[in-house]
Amino acid sequence: MPAAEQAKRHRRSTKWQLVRRLLLLTIGAVIFAIGLKGFLVPNSIIDGGIVGISIIGSKLTDSTLALWLFFLNIPFIFFGYKQIGKTFALSTLYAISIMAIATKLLEDIGPMTQVDLLATVFGGLILGIGVGIVIRASGSLDGTEILAVSFSRSTPFSVGEIVMFFNVFILGAAGFVFGWDRAMYSLITYFIAFKTIDVVIDGLDQSKSVWIISENHEEIGLAIMDRLGRTMTYLNGEGAFSGDDKKIIFCVISRLEETKLKEIVRDFDEEAFIAIGNIHDVHGGRFKKKDIH
């Protein structure tokens, strides 16, 4: 292919990727705003992070929530530009701007429900969907996540642990402002949103990596190919204590196939070693199942 044509196709691909990213960021931010204004805010339920601080600040000062959402996040976006990268920071700035604008435009809509349990559950689900879409588009809707990513590099704590640490104080503050029953509802909302984010990012059919060590590796491998339609790789290993040579089966399955795989292994070797871990993304190779006749 001529270089000029190759460059043209690359520019077209890059332009489409940018349009797709902006579209996802917009959709995610608007969905998030609907969850806030339609479910949480009218029922005095908050989310964690900067969003939670913004809701508390807006309540205490009787001021516009949209302004709090935008201006409180600005320092973190600047920090993210320095620490994490230009693309992530600009995507986050765009998503937060859309979220703030959508929150302002939705200011006069009434609550979609005044039943606390419904507001908690559906508010958490909608927030989680919005945040998950934004994260998939390489952005963020909360500055504390940016701070947590940076802190995790210089501390023994994970990003999730640092975010949870912040949110303990934020949700505790909600108890003094809105009442402790609101704080407990907020904690449930945060948990539901957290789990929903995982589903949106990883998908319902999340992939899992599997390592199996067994003397009957050949029989197990053939059964996995025959009954699950999955291919695998045999790895060479050595027992650290015994020094014996080992064959290790490595394969990738979906979450829904985990129970079936364990049954297959136990059919041939009840003492087999099985290690299963989550995988966030799979590309290339022969991951797709072959037809089982």
Tens of pLDDT, residues 170-214: 888 888 888 889 989 998 998 898 888 877 876 655 678 899 999
Region 237-251 average pLDDT = 83
| pLDDT number for residue 96 | 93
pLDDT in tens, 79-93: 777 766 778 888 889
- Would you say residue 275 has pLDDT above 50? yes
CATH 3.30.70.120 residue spans of the chain:
207-279
Give residue 232's pLDDT. 85
For the chain, what percent of residues have pLDDT higher than 70? 85
Give the pLDDT score at 30.
Answer: 96
CB contact at 8 A, 70 and 209: no
Task: Tell me, yes or no, if the pTM score tops 0.85.
Answer: no
Structural class in CATH, domain 207-279: alpha beta
Per the model's pLDDT, the better-predicted residue between 88 and 9 turns out to be 88
pLDDT for residue 154: 72
